[in-house]
Structure 1
Amino acid sequence: MTNENLFMQIENLRNNMIRVGLSKGFTSAETVSLSERLDKLINLQMGLFSKVSA
């Protein structure tokens, strides 16, 4: 997985989470689930970034 690919996945998921949050509420189960997935992708990206810059 390239950093660019990961960045696109993060942006798509973030936009989806915001859309769902606005329509179903920011504490809905679906929004929280998307947020957790987004956190995992961001953590993965940060891990890749720290390996590259080390």
Structure 2
Amino acid sequence: MEKVLLKKIEKCRREMITLSFSKGLTSEAVVQTSKRLDALLNEYQRKEG
């Protein structure tokens, strides 16, 4: 399960970086992806804690 979550985190991070280059850091797509990444990171932190 942990490896799956880490893969989701990395995929989301890459997506956010790609979007930020094409749409700008403050675009709605980047903000939404950032929120999704935050949720994944929080989930990972809870499971590790």
What CA RMSD, in Å, does the superposition of the two structures yield over aligned residues?
A: 0.3
TM-score for both structures, normalised by structure 1: 0.89
What is the match of residue 7 of structure 1?
6
Shift, 1:15, TM fit: 0.1
5+ unaligned residues in a row in structure 2: which ranges? none
Runs of 4+ off more than 2 Å:
none
Q: Flag the structure with larger Rg.
A: 1
How many pairs does the alignment contain? Answer: 49
TM-score for both structures, normalised by structure 2: 0.98
What is the match of residue 31 of structure 2?
32
5+ unaligned residues in a row in structure 1: which ranges? none
